């Protein structure tokens, strides 16, 4: 059995910092060999590991992100829920998401920002594990900025999505949980890609990701047209998220909607879906009475 003072440092986040240099200096011994630093449970900036004989085996069997009933015997079930969607039309791209974060029946937060603003012309969405999506899309933002500095031009949406897909492919099988959309405007016009945790990368006109995506797809399949006006497109993105939140208990709270044009993205609104419910209910009642 391992002792009670085990932790794994977040070295990858410290590389290049003075903290990393000091830690390396502390590891050096007379012959120049390296020795592990002292590990302290609960030390800030470090990850604790289970106090069991085989931590990796324990994590695989109790904390895996699984689909269907394959996590039935786990101590913690990663039952996630969200609704995100994006679609291209003649006036640009609409990105519409909810803001609820859940773990099974527990609502952890109602104000999660599920649209990652990678740069002024590029957006990413979050579905799956919040930490995985947030970290790797911020990492993508860094890679995109490095590309701009090296090549003196803005990265294309296709290239940005490929960078993320390559990263996901290199971590395939490590338990990441991500279903993202990378969208924006480049010299080829509006572009939209879907990228997930096994490295799948798809190009399309519209996508919806998350537990409420089937309901959102129902609305999109019925009312989507490439020649929508900007007002119609905004209303479609708003209604699709509302109906998904109304039917899917794991989605809800605030609808955040963005419009991407050749001049960059603009946040259109952040509306409580409860307010949308009464707005659409009144609209339905008026339509039935007329």
Active site residues: 82
Residue 281 neighbours by CB distance under 10 Å: 10
Distance between CA atoms of residues 132 and 100, nearest Å: 16
Distance between CA atoms of residues 81 and 115, nearest Å: 15
Tokens of 260: 């991407």
Name the residue among 206, 237, 260 with its Cα closest to residue 92.
260
For residues 113 and 99, is the Cβ–Cβ distance under 8 A? yes
Distance between CA atoms of residues 182 and 100, nearest Å: 20
Tokens of 173: 């099988």
How big is the chain by its Cα radius of gyration, in Å? Answer: 22
Tokens of 125: 């969405």
Distance between CA atoms of residues 142 and 136, nearest Å: 10
DSSP 3-state percent helix, strand, coil across the chain (nearest 5): 35, 25, 35
Name the residue among 235, 208, 215 with its Cα closest to residue 114.
208
């Amino acid at each position: 059995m391992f002792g009670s003072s085990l932790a794994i440092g977040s070295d990858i986040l410290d590389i290049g910092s003075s903290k990393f240099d000091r830690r390396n200096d502390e590891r050096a011994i007379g012959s120049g060999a390296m020795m592990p630093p002292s590990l302290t449970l609960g030390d800030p900036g470090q990850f604790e590991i289970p106090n069991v004989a085989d931590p990796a085996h324990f994590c695989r069997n109790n904390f895996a992100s699984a689909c269907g009933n394959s996590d039935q015997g786990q101590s913690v079930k990663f039952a996630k829920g969200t609704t995100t969607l994006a679609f291209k039309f003649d006036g640009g791209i609409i990105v519409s998401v909810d803001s609820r974060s859940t773990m099974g029946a527990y609502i952890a937060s109602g104000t999660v920002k599920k649209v990652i603003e990678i740069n002024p012309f590029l957006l990413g969405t979050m579905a799956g594990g919040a930490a995985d999506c947030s970290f790797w899309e911020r990492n993508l933002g860094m890679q995109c900025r490095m590309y701009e500095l090296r090549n003196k031009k803005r990265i294309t949406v296709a290239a940005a999505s490929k960078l993320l897909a390559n990263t996901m492919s290199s971590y395939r099988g490590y338990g990441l949980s991500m279903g993202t959309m990378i969208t924006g405007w480049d010299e080829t016009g509006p572009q939209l890609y879907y990228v997930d945790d096994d490295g799948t990368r798809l190009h399309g006109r519209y996508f919806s990701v998350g537990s409420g995506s089937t309901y959102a797809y129902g609305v999109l399949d019925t009312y989507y047209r490439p020649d929508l006006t900007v007002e119609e497109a905004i209303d479609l993105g708003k209604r699709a998220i509302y109906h998904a939140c109304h039917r899917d208990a794991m989605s809800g709270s605030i609808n955040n909607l963005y419009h991407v044009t050749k001049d960059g993205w603009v946040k259109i609104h952040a509306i409580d879906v409860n307010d949308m419910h009464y707005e659409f209910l009144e609209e339905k009642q008026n339509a039935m009475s007329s």
